[in-house]
Chains A and B, each alone.
Chain A
Amino acid sequence: DQQVKQNSPSLSVQEGRISILNCDYTNSMFDYFLWYKKYPAEGPTFLISISSIKDKNEDGRFTVFLNKSAKHLSLHIVPSQPGDSAVYFCAARNSGSNYKLTFGKGTLLTVNP
């Protein structure tokens, strides 16, 4: 039972354009959401997060939007850079469940120069 879904296995964008990565979840108990970036042969690196009491969080080129009614969140990267090429994982947690993270399968983002 996939509680966090990233339906696009891959995404390709041109340098300078916007990258939009999507994530859907089914568990209404999730109250905190995170995006991690992962390069091959490395561990995931925390990127940005959002609490369920907010609908937007911005950090530099990265913005995460949360639509609770649709159980959907998205990560916007603008402008995209070749160094952003990596696998992006969406993760969610329920504060009442020991803070363990539930991950999606990831989206491979390729930013072309």
Chain B
Amino acid sequence: NAGVMQNPRHLVRRRGQEARLRCSPMKGHSHVYWYRQLPEEGLKFMVYLQKENIIDESGMPKERFSAEFPKEGPSILRIQQVVRGDSAAYFCASSPGTGENEQYFGPGTRLTVT
């Protein structure tokens, strides 16, 4: 059973470009969480999605950031007009359903904005 997949593993963007981060949850998991880890910090919750629905986006910046989890295909975290402060590791986690206690994390995407 493959784990949570994230791609790309490393992404370099110039200021003002767009970044698209992809996450494929574990097989059978329909709940996806995105977290961001800034240098020397813990992981911070950004958004929680189920198939075709955003359940909680309270941790996501109001501007430039968006997320989706379509019926078919991976979940996408999209950052428009990136700035240097967006440089971080972005982790996706999945769980089988509401009430499941453990979230299983992917290897992360390291975004560098130059």
Measured CB to CB, the closest approach of chain A to B106, in angstroms, equals: 5
Q: Say yes or no: A105 contacts B102, CB within 8 Å.
A: no
* Residue interface bits A86-101, CB-to-B below 8 A is 1, else 0: 0001010001011111
* Chain A CB within 8 A of B95 CB: yes
Asked if A44 meets B41 with Cβ closer than 8 Å, knowing A99-B95, A100-B56, the reply is no
Q: Say yes or no: B56 contacts A103, CB within 8 Å.
A: no
* Residue interface bits A1-28, CB-to-B below 8 A is 1, else 0: 0001010000000000000000000000
Residues of B with C-beta under 8 A to A60: none
Asked if A98 meets B48 with Cβ closer than 8 Å, knowing A32-B101, A49-B101, the reply is yes
Q: Say yes or no: A100 contacts B43, CB within 8 Å.
A: no
Residues of B with C-beta under 8 A to A59: none
Q: How large is the interface on A (under 10, 10 to 19, 20 to 34, 35 or more residues)?
A: 20 to 34
Asked if A106 meets B48 with Cβ closer than 8 Å, knowing A32-B101, A43-B106, A100-B56, the reply is no
Contact of A105 among B42, B103, B105, B106 (CB under 8 A): B42
Asked if A100 meets B59 with Cβ closer than 8 Å, knowing A89-B42, A105-B41, the reply is yes
Q: Return the chain A residue nearest B44 by Cβ.
A: A103
Residues of B with C-beta under 8 A to A41: 107-108, 110
- In the assembled complex, the Cα of A98 lies from the Cα of B100 at a distance in Å of 11
Measured CB to CB, the closest approach of chain A to B60, in angstroms, equals: 11
Residues of A with C-beta under 8 A to B59: 100
Asked if A43 meets B4 with Cβ closer than 8 Å, knowing A98-B55, A98-B56, the reply is yes
Q: Say yes or no: B105 contacts A44, CB within 8 Å.
A: yes
Residues of B with C-beta under 8 A to A105: 40-42
Contact of A44 among B44, B91, B101 (CB under 8 A): B91
Q: Say yes or no: B43 contacts A44, CB within 8 Å.
A: yes
Known: A98-B55, A99-B103. 4 other contacts (CB 8 A): A43-B107, A43-B108, A49-B101, A89-B43
Report 11 cross-chain contacts, Cβ distance below 8 Å, ordered by A residue.
A4-B42, A36-B105, A42-B108, A43-B6, A43-B105, A49-B101, A91-B43, A98-B48, A98-B56, A100-B45, A101-B103
